[in-house]
Structures are given as C-alpha cells and as structure tokens.
Chain A
Amino acid sequence: MSADSDMEYSDNDCEYDDYYNSGEDCDVERLDPKKTDPEYFEFVCLTVEEVEKLLNESVEKLNTILEITPSLAKVLLLEHQWDNQVVVDKYRKDANALLITARIKPPNPLLSIPDPLAPSTSKDAVVFGTSSSVSRSSSCSNDDSPRNALISLGICNTYNTVAPGGGIISQRCQMCPVCASSQMGDKFFSLSCGHAFCKDCWSTFFDTQIFQGISTQIGCMAPMCNVRVPEDLVLTLVTRPVMRDKYQQFAFKDYVKSHPQLRFCPGPNCQIIVRSPEVCAKRVICTSCHTSFCFKCGMDYHAPTDCVVIKKWLTKCADDSETANYISANTKDCPKCHICIEKNGGCNHMLCFNCKHDFCWMCLGDWKTHGSEYYECSRYKDNPNIANESVHVQAREALKKYLHYYERWENHSKSLQLEQQTIDRLRDRINEKVMKGRGTWIDWQYLFNAAALLAKCRYTLQYTYPYAYFMESGSRKDLFEYQQAQLEAEIENLSWKIERAETTDLGDLENQMDIAEKRRTTLLKDFFPVDF
C-alpha cells in the first residue's frame, strides 16, 4: 500500500484524530475501522458472574439437546473448546467413542478392571476383599447401546453406589481397598470403570486433589485408571464449604482456559474475563484495570511481532542477555585461533591458553611487536580478524546482531518507562505557561495527546525489533527495516517537537503526529499478521 493511498483517509483512521473530529462532520467520510485500522479489535470485558452465565447457557443447551446431566455436559464442553455443535455431532456419531476420549468411560471396560494391585500380587486383593465387588460392577459395561450403557452406569442420573442393578452387593459388607475398613455396600461409590471405594476415602482423596489445585482433571483412585471424576460426584462427597468453593474456583479457571473466546485479564488481582469472537493477536485494554495485553497469548501486546516470535525473543532475552552482555564487555577473540578469551587479570600481555599465541589485549596485535611503545598500541590496524570466518567469529557476529536488536529493544522499553515522567514535566511546563498568561490550560491540552501518541508509536517501534531480528534477509526485510527507520525518524522528530513546544500553535505538531501515526499504521498494515 503506498503512502499516498493512506493519506486519503488520514482524517478518520486513528483515534487521536478523533479528538479533533469529534464534532458532527466526522462521520461524513467515516470508513469501516475493520479495514482501515490494522489494530481494530472487538471485545467485551465480562465479570465472573457474566461468564458463569455464559458457560451455563452452553451447558443448558447441551443438556436439552442430548438429555445429559450438567456435570457430563461440562466435561464434554471442556474437552471440545465449548463447541456445542462438535459435541452434538460426535455424540450422535459415536457416543461411546466420545465418552472414552472425554475419559468418562474406560477405554476397555473389561480390561480396565484388573486387580488394582500388580498382577504378581493378586493375592492382595483378597486381603482387601475388592476383587469380587469390582468385577461384579464391571459386568454392566457390556451394553451395546451407548445411551443405555450410560444410563445403566448411572452417568445420566446419579453416581451410583457400586452395584448398578445388583442389590446383593449393597446389602453386603465389603472392604475398601484404600482404608481397608469393612463397610456396607451402599457406602461405596464408583465411576463407569467400576472401581469402588468408600465414601470417606473418595472425599479425602478429593480434598487432597483440590488442595493441589486439581479440579476438572481429578481421576479415579484406582492405579492406571484414567476415568475422570465429574463435578457432581465431587460436590456430592466434598462437604466442607471451603473445599467446595475451592473446587468450583479451580474448575471455573479450567473452563475459562479451555474456552477459545475467553481470556483472564492478566492485570494483578483483576477479576475481568475478556471475550472476543476472534482469536487473534490483537490488543485488549481491560475496562476495569486498564491493563493492555495480547488477546491471543495474554502477554504484553506485541504488534507487529506475532505471539510465537515474541515468546522466542523474550526467552532469548531472558537466557542470553546477561551472558551476552558479559561476553561482549569482558571477552575478545584470540587473533590467531579465534577462541573466546576472558581477561581475568590486569596484564595486557595475553597468552592464549588454546594456541599459545602471545598478543596484546588492547590492540590484538602480536606481542612481539610491542616494545617500549606498548601503551600506545598503535598497531590497531594490523588486526587481521575481519576476514576470518572461524566459528568464533561467526558466534561473535551472531552476538553482535542480537545485541544490536536487543539494545534498541531495551532502549525503547526504557524510554517508555520514562513516559510518565515526560508527561509530569509537560504538566509543570504547561502550568508555568498558563501562569505567565501564555495560553489557557485548554490551549495546551494538545501536548498531552501528542505525548500519548508518542508513547503508542514508541511502543510499536519497540516491538518491531524482535520482529526484525527473526526475519530472514531479503527484500521483505529491507522493506520492513526501511519502514522501521522511517517510523523511528518520525518518532524522534515528534519527541523533539513535544519537548520544545513553546506556542499553542498546534499546526506543526499536529502534522508531525499525523505523520508518525501514519508511519506506524502503514508498518502494521504491511506486517502485522492478522491471524484467525
């Protein structure tokens, strides 16, 4: 897109201009912001209650269509990114397979009921007396129709005490394999896998799991059994209000995290959940705590860099920066063998431990040539380093490249942190001007807008550096770096003009703001990935 075509809608495509165009005439040529603003993003900020309502609606909808319990519906929705249609389709196609993948049913009902103890110690089962009752309840998993199987397993209804359809067991005493105490059969609960444990052990187990932050992923207590414990069994057996609340909080977190349209606001102690129909790397600003973040990854907003690249960059910075800075500041390559050398003493006469070359740390020239004129080191030009393509030289080149981008990234980041101070200084200066009778407070307000725009542009500029670092060389990178340079130049111009604004004549500054923002949008339009 050429710069000229951008000019055509220069009056309407940025929010800073809106400040001046807030009168009636601004809608004359209003263009669709979806097309003109590369950062345009629709989202809503919701409270926990609103999200609960939203999730419950999905759950109820699924209940009605499939006639299943809310508890089962939640598990199925959790496993399918809250896509009702996918769940319904899969359920109608092969309910059994769906329930197995959602870990509601064991993969193989018969094989999944081994003795819970290792095969070689099968005698142990006798001690705890579980084997008979367990295998008994497993027999009901053989129903061919998935729906019927479900109902008979008590999934559609309630969690059944261990003997679905077999009254004999509930009359009889049996031993719980976990606590080793004998109890009446009706004190036992099992999931579709048939592994039966007593009520007290289940609830202690749930407490332990919830205490560790596990909620929707709590599984059956039997070894190697991965059948999931749905919400209703947990809430039936966990009675302490504190633990119930905890469970529900953790489960809610899991639900929100599994929902592609929902994101927790990363702001400290912020309860807001952001919802957007599109999952893309666009900026969200929380209406409650004003934290700004990327909707897709939840990190700081990072246009034009995409989520994967910024993550790579931040990891690299975290890993490398200190080491890299140290290497750069404290080491040099041996002029002969190019091994990286750290200077650990005061003497500048270096003896390379690798190739035993004697050289001067200052000029990297051969030590033999150093006579009395040692401290002058006039032999700097003799350094034969450049042409050499050794691994170490390459490593240093790579480091140089990284540091080039890192320094700029870091510099703009620091500039941004100073932004607040700039604004404070502006406020003082404006007060001074107003006191001297040079314009009114209102007249000077444009400077704040200019400072805000400067911050916005600088922020984007900061995030162009990781993008450029990971870009392959070529014409596209050339174009990117050209646009980046243009943006940087205009930002510095703007900064200069803000610092030195002496009159209330805003024409010049406004023009500069417009240019800077135009550069920023152009760069974003050309390079900001609009991914869905």
Chain B
Amino acid sequence: MSSLPRRIIKETQRLMQEPVPGINAIPDENNARYFHVIVTGPNDSPFEGGVFKLELFLPEDYPMSAPKVRFITKIYHPNIDRLGRICLDVLKDKWSPALQIRTILLSIQALLSAPNPDDPLANDVAELWKVNEAEAIKNAREWTQKYAVED
C-alpha cells in the first residue's frame, strides 16, 4: 500500500489531540485507514447512557469518496439496519471531499438525536417509529440498555 496521504495523517493527529466530545476514534495499530470508533449516545435521546462501537474505514481514494462506517453495537434506529449499516446522505450522494472523519462522526451522533423514519433503512423500526413513537423509543431504550451499556 502506498504511503499514507498527508490529509489522513493530519486528520488523525487532530482527532487524537483535540477529540470531539462524545466521540472517540483511534486508528488500528496495523492499518492506519481503519478506525475503532466509540460514540456515546446523545443526552435527551433514547440512546443516552449507551456506548456505541463503530468501525470506520478510509477507502483508497479517500477523500474523493466517503469513508465506510458501520455500527458494531446493535442499535434500534430507523436509519441503521441490523448489520449496522447507516443511511446518511453525507456518506452517500452528499459526500464532499472537504468533509472529514470528525464531521461524519458528528453527523452520525446527530442522527442518533434526530432519527428520520421517513427515509428508513430498517423498515420495521421506521414503521413503528411513525405509528407509535413512544413504543419505538421504549424499544430503543431497551436495546441501548441491553447492548450498549456495560455493566
């Protein structure tokens, strides 16, 4: 593999030196393009108190194409499916080479605060979120307690 682009080095340094509150991204020892990410559930959201593990990979043509991000921790969310894949515009058609790892992770954190059931990835979750929001939020809380809280 070719040497690491300056852009990635810079971003990594900054992520380590000035981490974003509630977000922790550490590059893998053996692969500087693979990041172990931890996002804490935002306050006042059903994911509050949860610690969510994600993986983030910078493809060869990054930043011309978006990073690949996936939840490893199970999460009950209309825009995140059972495999942890995320439906988020900035990871797809709205990606811009001027966006960064930290902006993407912030967007993901924001998605936890503001689920969008009108653009669903997990259909059953989105359906319930629309029909019975209270019930859906209750499920999300339960899943958070069950999968994202370490005893």
Chain A residues with CB under 8 Å of chain B are 116-118, 120-121, 123-124, 127-128, 177-181, 195, 197, 201, 204-205, 208, 221-225
The answer to whether B113 has its CB under 8 Å from any CB of chain A is no
Chain A residues lying within 8 Å of B90, measured Cβ to Cβ, are: 223
The 4 A-B residue pairs whose C-beta atoms are closest, nearest first, are A223-B96, A116-B98, A180-B10, A180-B7
- Our pick among A124, A179, A197 for the contact of B6 (Cβ within 8 Å) is A179
The answer to whether B27 has its CB under 8 Å from any CB of chain A is no
The answer to whether B61 has its CB under 8 Å from any CB of chain A is yes
Known A-B contacts A179-B5, A201-B97; A127 and B14 likewise in contact (beta carbons under 8 Å): yes
Q: Are B103 and A118 in contact (CB under 8 A)?
A: yes
Chain A residues lying within 8 Å of B100, measured Cβ to Cβ, are: 117, 124
A-B contact pairs, 12 of them (CB 8 A): A117-B102, A118-B103, A118-B106, A118-B107, A121-B106, A124-B14, A124-B100, A178-B63, A180-B9, A205-B97, A223-B94, A223-B99
The answer to whether B149 has its CB under 8 Å from any CB of chain A is no
Q: Are B103 and A121 in contact (CB under 8 A)?
A: yes
Known A-B contacts A116-B96, A118-B103, A118-B106; A181 and B6 likewise in contact (beta carbons under 8 Å): yes
Q: Are B102 and A208 in contact (CB under 8 A)?
A: no
Chain B residues lying within 8 Å of A118, measured Cβ to Cβ, are: 103, 106-107
Contacts A222-B98, A223-B103 known; list 5 others, CB within 8 Å. A117-B103, A124-B103, A197-B97, A208-B65, A225-B96
Chain A residues lying within 8 Å of B18, measured Cβ to Cβ, are: 123
The answer to whether B20 has its CB under 8 Å from any CB of chain A is yes
Q: Are B96 and A180 in contact (CB under 8 A)?
A: no
Q: Are A120 and B96 in contact (CB under 8 A)?
A: no
Q: Are B7 and A221 in contact (CB under 8 A)?
A: no
Known A-B contacts A177-B98, A222-B98; A204 and B64 likewise in contact (beta carbons under 8 Å): yes
Instruction: Return B105 CB to nearest CB of chain A, in Å.
Output: 10
Q: Which residues of B in the span 41-98 have a Cβ within 8 Å of any Cβ on A?
A: 61, 63-65, 90, 94, 96-98
Closest residue to B20 on the A side, CB-wise? A121
Instruction: Return B29 CB to nearest CB of chain A, in Å.
Output: 23
A118–B23 CA distance with the chains assembled, in angstroms: 15
Closest residue to B98 on the A side, CB-wise? A116
Question: Taking chain A's interface residues, is the majority helix, strand, or loop, or is none over half, making it mixed?
Answer: loop
Q: Are B10 and A223 in contact (CB under 8 A)?
A: no
A224–B93 CA distance with the chains assembled, in angstroms: 11
Chain A residues lying within 8 Å of B14, measured Cβ to Cβ, are: 124, 127
A197–B11 CA distance with the chains assembled, in angstroms: 17
Closest residue to A175 on the B side, CB-wise? B10
- Our pick among B6, B20, B99, B102 for the contact of A180 (Cβ within 8 Å) is B6
A222–B63 CA distance with the chains assembled, in angstroms: 12
A425–B98 CA distance with the chains assembled, in angstroms: 68
Instruction: Return B49 CB to nearest CB of chain A, in Å.
Output: 22
- Our pick among A121, A208, A222 for the contact of B64 (Cβ within 8 Å) is A208
Closest residue to B14 on the A side, CB-wise? A127
Q: Are A205 and B64 in contact (CB under 8 A)?
A: yes
A221–B106 CA distance with the chains assembled, in angstroms: 20
Instruction: Return B15 CB to nearest CB of chain A, in Å.
Output: 10
Instruction: Return B80 CB to nearest CB of chain A, in Å.
Output: 20
Instruction: Return A363 CB to nearest CB of chain B, in Å.
Output: 44
- Our pick among B7, B61, B94, B106 for the contact of A208 (Cβ within 8 Å) is B61
Instruction: Return B93 CB to nearest CB of chain A, in Å.
Output: 11
Chain A residues lying within 8 Å of B94, measured Cβ to Cβ, are: 223-224
Q: Are A221 and B98 in contact (CB under 8 A)?
A: yes
Q: Are A221 and B103 in contact (CB under 8 A)?
A: no
- Our pick among A117, A123, A179 for the contact of B7 (Cβ within 8 Å) is A179
A205–B6 CA distance with the chains assembled, in angstroms: 17
1/0 contact string of B1-28 vs chain A (CB within 8 Å)? 0000111011100100010100000000
Instruction: Return A15 CB to nearest CB of chain B, in Å.
Output: 50
